[in-house]
Amino acid sequence: MPCHLHPTSALFGLGNSPDYVVYHELMMTTKEYMHCVTAVDGRWLAELGPMFFSVKETGKSNRDKRKEAAVHLQRMEEEMKQAEQKMAEEKKIKEQEVPVKQEIATPGLSTPKRTPHKLGL
């Protein structure tokens, strides 16, 4: 929406006008003047409102973008294969481990395997 910076605005005296501004106060005269304004970065708008704004990278053709996307996809697939192999190795190691036999401790004397012989009478 084309608007003009009001001469009393703080950004008016900078000499160059910022690419993106957010106005807080709009004055309607013969022209639309933005009185209270804040300069913002265009990337902020793309981050906070991606459904309204997008940032186009300059100097990249569609072919270059497709190549980058294909390389990124291939890298992701390789990482996934490595993660699956690592999980399979961990599972195999876990299965090969012999489970530790646990005994339950009970109070009292343990019973001997054979009773001792009595000497004497």
**pLDDT tens digits along 30-52:** 888 888 888 888 888 888 877 87
Burial grade of 60 (CB within 10 A; 0-12, 13-18, 19 or more)? exposed
What is the Cα–Cα distance from 27 to 24, expressed in whole angstroms? 10
What is the Cα–Cα distance from 12 to 4, expressed in whole angstroms? 9
Exposure string for 4-17, b = 16+ CB within 10 A, e = fewer: ebbeebebbeeeee
What does the pLDDT read at residue 62? 82
What does the pLDDT read at residue 86? 97
Backbone angles phi, psi at 18, to 5 degrees: -70, 155
Token readout for 120 is: 């004497």
Helix (H) or strand (E) holding 67: helix 62-96
Question: Which residues of the chain are under the pLDDT cut of 70?
Answer: 1, 109-112, 115-116, 120-121
